[in-house]
Structure 1
């Protein structure tokens, strides 16, 4: 009669076709392996970690404000639109600003003419003074008029630059690429300097803020290493871990900021993610992920005995560290695990058939 199995092991055995096919035939002794590639388990050093939930934030987020007065004539983007750096997000009327620039240009031309006349007059008086044909006071007066004309010219140039900036302020451009999150004005609305126009954030660089109990903050400060688990299962090592210096007096928790590398993560500001912080070192049994056999929620590996017999054994997996997974229960140091489950199953069936013969 077929030996009794725990339900989970029975389900796994049936799913893999490892149970006996006929009800009256007892299973053979564990078959022997034939040249299987195996890994002998030994405790390996791994990070001792603890995880908490964190909130995703955008590093670059800003509200653009008006730097000149005008009336809104164009809002090319709406909320949730993607905007590239340098694209126009708001445009104002610019009649007054262009008129101011034209006036500044005219004032500059007048100042240039006056400065040129004053320079010519100064050179003439200086030549006469050198030949002692005019009084010294006339040279002093000519020098003062020249210096005043130079100052007026510099003021006119500055006024023209300012007028040009006022024209430029009528076109508001995105400082970086990102999403438009809010519009504070509408087309046709009159705005004044300092009034908020649009808000946006960049998805190119994100960070996660986590509230950590004070009992673990010393270990986090020591190691400053963290891993963010993405919704698709990927692990992203933190670019930098910043521990705030003071605790919240109400919750007695510290804020820890985890900087993410610039990469496509699929995260959005406001999402919650799991963040694992390194608290120290620990020894763990690790097996390659490719050695696991999974059926539903059951995990197992093929164990190869010193005599070469292959047996399927259920295990309890833990954290995944890259291409390896931690074994919490089911295996012991020194045991050998088949690295190719398909080859191990084939070897097991071949040995069973040879045993029947």
Structure 2
């Protein structure tokens, strides 16, 4: 019986020692837990917006006449010079019509010349009273008719010449070929798109912003643009100003912003862009921006969370919605309130739970 009591006493002492050690360890970890308060700021912050890179000058070149494509010397990605021939269509019929119009113009000019000389002679004869007034009037009418016919032939010859020029399409400016929609030998009709071109030296970012946030944007401060599709050394671009279109979309209540970009190697229309617009927060206190140290945020896949320390000193995991990083701090858009305490080191807080 004494041996059984001795074993029970030893077992009880072991349990008490284990609980004591666990309590001591937990208390030590809790003592090492460093916390920081959620900082509220009403200073100038930033507004995030998504945009897309587009060309200021981007043109879709279409056919103005019908015909078969006989020459297509360019392809997508090629560079082009202003006035360079891009597409040539079969314009032999139009060329012959232009030659015919030119011949008719020469005939009309010859007829006008004869009518002019005849009218001068008739005037001289009338001055000597060799012919009647009616004969002079007929000579004048023939001269005016020949002059009008010559003018009509000049206009018709010019129209035929212009029509024949539609069969050769030239580059409207220096740039690059974005895409080619036809092949050599294709039969095209008026209005069909043949190729698209753009000027890589004039690019901009277009983004939409809620109209309620437009008034808080601070003018004259650098705007940061991030292009994730570029190499890391070229992703960040800073511009000085933007243009807000004076029309608000009635269905989405958004305003379109346009920001001109400098020349950057590898930048192309269609790339995704992320904007950080400097803004001044105005309004009530609950509209202030909230910041915590970036190292206090724990990320697992798409989950962002922090350990919030309550009044009892317990660390509770809470999901947040992060905003942009500003220096060593990160803005928190949702999940915490101003003045709350969060664990500075998430791993230490996880062990103290």
Q: Does residue 105 of structure 1 match 2:102? A: yes
Q: 2:122 aligns with which of 115, 121, 125?
A: 125
Report the count of equivalent residues: 242
Unaligned runs of 5+ in 2: 1-31, 33-42, 283-324, 331-353
Match of 1:263 in 2: 263
Q: Which moved more, 1:231-240 or 1:153-162?
A: 231-240
Query: Higher Cα Rg: structure 1 or 2?
Result: 2
- Conservation of the 8 A alpha-carbon contact between 1:85 and 1:177: yes
Match of 1:235 in 2: 237
Match of 2:65 in 1: 68
Using the TM superposition, give the Cα deviation of residue 115 of structure 1 relative to its aligned residue in structure 2, in angstroms. 0.3
Q: Does residue 174 of structure 1 match 2:171? A: yes
CA shift digits 1:255-275 (9 cap, x unpaired): 322231553353211111222
Using the TM superposition, give the Cα deviation of residue 233 of structure 1 relative to its aligned residue in structure 2, in angstroms. 4.3
Match of 2:180 in 1: 183
Query: Any idea what SS the aligned residue of 1:204 has?
Result: coil
CA shift digits 1:191-223 (9 cap, x unpaired): 233222212222221121212233312223x73
- Conservation of the 8 A alpha-carbon contact between 2:65 and 2:166: yes
Unaligned runs of 5+ in 1: 1-5, 7-45, 283-317, 320-325, 330-357
Match of 1:278 in 2: 278
Alignment of 1:143-154 (within 5 A): 143-154=140-151
Q: 2:200 aligns with which of 203, 210, 223?
A: 203
Distance 1:229 1:202, change over 3 A: same
CA shift digits 1:269-326 (9 cap, x unpaired): 11112222232399xxxxxxxxxxxxxxxxxxxxxxxxxxxxxxxxxxx65xxxxxx6
Using the TM superposition, give the Cα deviation of residue 180 of structure 1 relative to its aligned residue in structure 2, in angstroms. 2.2
CA shift digits 1:49-73 (9 cap, x unpaired): 3232211111212221212232111
- Conservation of the 8 A alpha-carbon contact between 2:118 and 2:139: yes
- Conservation of the 8 A alpha-carbon contact between 2:68 and 2:187: yes
Distance 1:150 1:239, change over 3 A: farther
Match of 1:135 in 2: 132
Give the distance between the partners of 2:247 and 2:61, measured in 1 at CA: 31
Alignment of 1:28-43 (within 5 A): none
Give the distance between the partners of 1:50 and 1:79, measured in 2 at CA: 37
Distance 1:207 1:244, change over 3 A: farther
Q: Does residue 158 of structure 1 match 2:155? A: yes
Using the TM superposition, give the Cα deviation of residue 47 of structure 1 relative to its aligned residue in structure 2, in angstroms. 5.8
- Conservation of the 8 A alpha-carbon contact between 2:211 and 2:255: no
Q: 2:191 aligns with which of 182, 190, 194?
A: 194
Give the distance between the partners of 1:53 and 1:192, measured in 2 at CA: 39
Give the distance between the partners of 1:268 and 1:105, measured in 2 at CA: 47
Give the distance between the partners of 2:141 and 2:220, measured in 1 at CA: 67
Using the TM superposition, give the Cα deviation of residue 142 of structure 1 relative to its aligned residue in structure 2, in angstroms. 1.2
Distance 1:281 1:132, change over 3 A: farther
Distance 1:214 1:271, change over 3 A: same
Using the TM superposition, give the Cα deviation of residue 328 of structure 1 relative to its aligned residue in structure 2, in angstroms. 5.7
CA shift digits 1:150-182 (9 cap, x unpaired): 111111111221222222211111112333233
Give the distance between the partners of 2:182 and 2:112, measured in 1 at CA: 46
Query: Any idea what SS the aligned residue of 1:132 has?
Result: coil
Match of 1:223 in 2: 219
- Conservation of the 8 A alpha-carbon contact between 1:111 and 1:149: yes
Query: Any idea what SS the aligned residue of 1:209 has?
Result: strand
Q: Which moved more, 1:76-85 or 1:119-128?
A: 76-85
Distance 1:253 1:266, change over 3 A: farther
- Conservation of the 8 A alpha-carbon contact between 1:178 and 1:200: yes
